[in-house]
């Protein structure tokens, strides 16, 4: 997908520096211009699969016969009965190469039978497996629930990420105060208003500068306040704010496009290895070295891939006409006649 950056929608990194995308010897500074960059989208299927690969627990193969949504068959497997029980199976690619179901879904393995190559699944995939489908399989050394848990731990540690909401608020006649979604309370950075309501693909969003937040008690929704009546009725507001990434629980839950996958996989791998070390209740020099290596990779990924932060535009100051702009610091100025 593409992320579009409009004029005056400045992006900064977590430490306040200009956000720059680099590729080979070229770079793009995202700020003060109109442009776009290509970003990839990942979901929990991708994250668990990539994490399992980093942990070195995945084997990949091909189904040798048609199965069902709860059965994958591979007669080339030679492990003992029940070897894969309680492990995980990912359906990586459908044989037709068209990303058709059940590609992109996973399940815990309920039972494995060597003589028939039958891999019975605890939960159904999104469709029936077929001959030639590519799948990945992992033992229960790192169960699926642990992979998901460590991915969510990595997301929690990341702090806040840019979030856009265009569905929560709509202008109402004779109303200048609007209850904010709870997630937008802490760090609302931009408010836009829809200019055209006749075309869902041509909203003509316009940024608003003169607004403020009336805070409320902890756990209570704050109020977005305008010192004037916004155009009404029924024009959507677009809210851009920083908030914690929501937990991922289903295979198709998506990772924010602003988060490079390395920022999740490397710390999640370190967390998973620490979990396994505690499970062993002993010291493993090789495992300790792997944990340290992934912690270093996580720090390097954080340095190389900072999370972009939208410029805050809600500040407003009313001034006299003769006040010098140089007296102000990072404030949107409105002169009154």
251-305 residue pLDDT tens: 999 999 999 999 999 999 999 999 999 998 877 788 999 999 999 999 999 999 9
Number of residues that make up the chain: 337
Higher pLDDT, 275 or 22: 275
pLDDT at 1 over 80: no
CA torsion through residues 116, 120, 124, 125, sign: negative
pLDDT at 14 over 70: no
Quote the DSSP letter at residue 170: B
The end-to-end CA distance of the chain, in Å, is 45
Split at pLDDT 50, 70, 90, the class of 323 is very low
Q: Please, what is the average pLDDT of the chain? A: 86
Name the token pair of 252. 């198709």
Domain locations in the chain? 58-140, 160-244, 246-304
pLDDT value, residue 334: 42
CA distance 241 to 261: 21
Q: Which region among 26-40, 135-149, 268-282 has the lowest average model confidence (pLDDT)?
A: 26-40
pLDDT value, residue 17: 66
């Amino acid at each position: 997908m593409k992320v579009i950056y409009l004029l005056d929608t400045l992006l900064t990194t977590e430490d306040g520096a200009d956000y720059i995308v680099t590729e080979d010897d070229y770079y793009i500074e995202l700020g003060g211009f109109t442009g776009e960059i290509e970003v990839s989208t990942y979901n929990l299927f991708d994250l668990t699969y990539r994490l399992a690969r980093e942990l070195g627990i995945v084997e990949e193969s091909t189904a040798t016969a048609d199965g069902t949504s709860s059965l994958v068959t591979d007669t080339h497997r030679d492990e003992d009965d029940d070897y894969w029980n309680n492990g995980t199976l990912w359906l990586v690619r459908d044989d037709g190469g068209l990303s058709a179901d059940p590609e992109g879904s996973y399940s815990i393995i309920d039972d494995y039978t060597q003589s028939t190559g039958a891999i019975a699944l605890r939960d159904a995939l999104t469709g029936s497996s077929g001959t030639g489908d590519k799948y990945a399989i992992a033992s229960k050394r790192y169960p699926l629930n642990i992979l998901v848990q460590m991915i969510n731990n990595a997301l929690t540690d990341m702090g806040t990420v840019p979030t856009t909401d265009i569905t929560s608020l709509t202008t109402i006649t004779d109303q200048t105060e609007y209850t904010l979604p709870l997630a937008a309370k802490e760090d609302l950075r931009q408010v836009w208003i829809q200019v055209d309501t006749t075309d869902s693909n041509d909203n003509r969003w316009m940024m608003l500068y003169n607004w403020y937040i009336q805070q409320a008690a902890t756990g209570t929704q704050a109020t977005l306040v305008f010192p004037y009546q916004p155009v009404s009725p029924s024009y959507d507001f677009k809210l851009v704010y920083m908030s914690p990434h929501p937990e991922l629980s289903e295979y198709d839950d998506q990772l924010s496009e602003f988060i490079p996958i390395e920022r999740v996989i490397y710390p999640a791998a370190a967390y998973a290895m620490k979990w396994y070390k505690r499970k062993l209740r002993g010291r493993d020099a090789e495992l300790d070295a792997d944990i340290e290596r992934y912690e270093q990779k996580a720090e390097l990924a954080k340095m190389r891939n900072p999370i972009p932060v939208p410029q805050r535009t809600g500040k407003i100051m009313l001034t006299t006409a003769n006040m010098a702009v140089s007296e102000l610091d990072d404030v949107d100025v409105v002169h009154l006649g």
